[in-house]
Amino acid sequence: MTSSHPGQPADPHGPRPQGEAPKGRADRRRERIRRDVQAARTGRQLVPTWLMALLLALFLGGWIYLIITK
């Protein structure tokens, strides 16, 4: 493999094990989505979902109230 920039390694992800083909864009995206879903399942949210829904409802209710009373 050749590098497009002098002084840069040919493969930025490091050497691959023998016989492993380079991953395509779809495979990398699929792995990233799996990692994100797994991280979301650990439940480290700072604000509970019900509280965010309540805040959204209050915001929308206040906005509608302002529109109606003007």
DSSP tag of 3: -
**Residue 51 domain boundaries:** 46-70
Tell whether pTM > 0.75.
no
Q: How far is CA 54 from CA 6, 49, 59, in A?
A: 55, 9, 9
Residue 68 lies in a domain: yes
Q: Which tokens is 48 given?
A: 């509970």
10-55: pLDDT as tens digits = 555 566 566 666 678 899 999 999 998 888 888 777 888 899 999 9
What average pLDDT score do residues 59-65 get? 97
Residue 23 lies in a domain: no
Residue 41 lies in a domain: no
Residue 57 lies in a domain: yes
Residue 31 lies in a domain: no
